[in-house]
Chains A and B, each alone.
Chain A
């Protein structure tokens, strides 16, 4: 009886998984997005700076800007987006079942998620280099991890937070004492009450938590990064057309910052390039000379549309995470490669 039940259930699972692969027809999802005239974007909606629901009902954050840039490039308008708030366990299923087109939800890019044998996604370039960090009170005069010798560190129970903390401290031969709580709120309480010299979590989360403090500017996040958490948008695996388009939209944002093209000066740049025929690469990029857009299934003015809607990567960063936001996370790794950061776009030609 149980054996029969077991075989029944197993064959049902097999049948359903078979269905999922059959459903993938040859048509790219990019064409579907264009026919629908709407991009469905999976977001979190709960993380200040990344995607957060404002009191007026609109979403804001860097993850949201990515959705807007994609919609501007694909459909010509940043408003043609439908946001789908997703929890962490839901997000991969939502892509696989086709409920969303693109996932822009502070998701760490790693091998298991980017492979056919794993979660079966295709990742776009990294939009935010996060990593586990440490926050200390600024009056403690601590600026480097080495100064935390023999200190208590408040840590939450999470995926690999404790392990990362230990790896970093062991490697530098620094003694420490972890005070482990169950969730971030208790970590914050323990830290603010002075039980620990420092608290640890992902740097973006530390910055977000800090906005809730009474005096946010009395706390600093150290420059030392304990683990790699590169966050990137993702789309379904095996759909090169969509993946290419998403990839080059992200690169467009970075390219624009490299070339110092922003919302304010783009019209001037267009004028300049239209008049000066010798600026061939700029003319191609701005779609004055056709070709680039077509190759990735988009209109030739996709670059112009993106920058007019969201500005370049630096503008987006400063607005939501950087100096103009209430999180102020220093750009650090998220600066351009020319400014000692990690962001670099391959040539757009």
Chain B
């Protein structure tokens, strides 16, 4: 009796899902027929006709849409890759500080994590950009014996120029993800039994060496899966760039879609490319995970 009820329920849910999907697909087909558009990707080869504020490979408005999207992707990857590195260091430092016996250090870390995790990322990005970076003076301010300078246009050090949009996004994302990573790392360290701490201390090892050689290796299997999901979040959150004027893949796609009217095609490219990126991150982290667990044995 119970089993039959379950089947009925499954059947109903199945029918609902299929009909919703059916309605959506029908809608799409009917609208495509009505507007006489059909699916097409040939616009990718047409000239883009808009400029991009920053690029690593030279881009002109007469270049085609696909090239514009590639430029956007490089901009995204630039933020994501450095964001991953920066947030890992931040998280590692804050996470270890939380478990530290040094009261000042552990309280600062707690304050950082508490504050950052309560405020939505979009608001944090707006704060970094509109308040912190655009609040800088318009005249470049030299630092490090004139090796670099900073103004509300950008940051420059040893010939490397970064726009304020890039800086705000990178710092905003890293600080945000860093707080979550810190919590993951703290949890990992806490998962190692107290006996291990006492063991290395009785061997006469210093706190730093003990942490690095004894505690962290044992904590890693608990840390890596948590960090993986934070990395994936960071990659996805990078699309908030459009709110603070950074020309990432989403900002470029947005312009592309409004200009060509090809929303379905534009979004499909966006979806597939993010899927691929996150698969790459997941696979890489899977490798790390196996290595870490191997070490444990």
**Partner-B contacts on A (CB < 8 A):** 2, 5-6, 9-10, 13, 152, 154, 157-160, 162-163, 165-167, 169-170, 176-182, 186, 189-190, 193-195
A189:B22 contact, CB within 8 angstroms: no
Q: Which residues of B contact A152 (CB under 8 A)?
A: 53, 153
B50:A163 contact, CB within 8 angstroms: yes
Residues of B244-259 whose CB lies within 8 A of A: 244-245, 247, 251, 254-255, 258-259
Binary A-proximity of B43-65 (CB < 8 A = 1, otherwise 0)? 00000011111100000010000
Q: Which of A157, A165, A167, A195 contacts B134 (CB 8 A)?
A: A195
Contacts A180-B242, A186-B244 given; 18 further ones with Cβ under 8 A? A6-B26, A152-B153, A157-B258, A160-B259, A163-B49, A163-B259, A167-B49, A170-B61, A177-B51, A177-B54, A179-B165, A180-B53, A180-B251, A182-B243, A193-B135, A195-B152, A195-B153, A195-B245
CA separation between A159 and B254, bound complex, in Å? 10
A sample of 17 inter-chain contacts (CB < 8 A) reads A5-B22, A5-B26, A6-B26, A13-B34, A152-B53, A157-B251, A157-B254, A157-B258, A159-B258, A160-B259, A162-B255, A176-B51, A178-B53, A182-B254, A190-B134, A193-B135, A195-B152
Chain B's interface size range is: 20 to 34
Closest-CB distance, A181 to chain B (whole angstroms) = 5
B164:A195 contact, CB within 8 angstroms: yes
Nearest A residue (CB) for B19: A5
CA separation between A331 and B110, bound complex, in Å? 60
B152:A193 contact, CB within 8 angstroms: yes
B30:A10 contact, CB within 8 angstroms: yes
CA separation between A176 and B61, bound complex, in Å? 11
Which among A9, A157, A165, A182 has the highest number of chain B CB atoms within 10 Å? A182
Closest-CB distance, B277 to chain A (whole angstroms) = 22
A180:B259 contact, CB within 8 angstroms: no
Which among B22, B245, B255 has the highest number of chain A CB atoms within 10 Å? B245
B258:A177 contact, CB within 8 angstroms: no
A166:B61 contact, CB within 8 angstroms: yes
Quick check: is B138 within 8 A (CB to CB) of the other chain?
A: yes
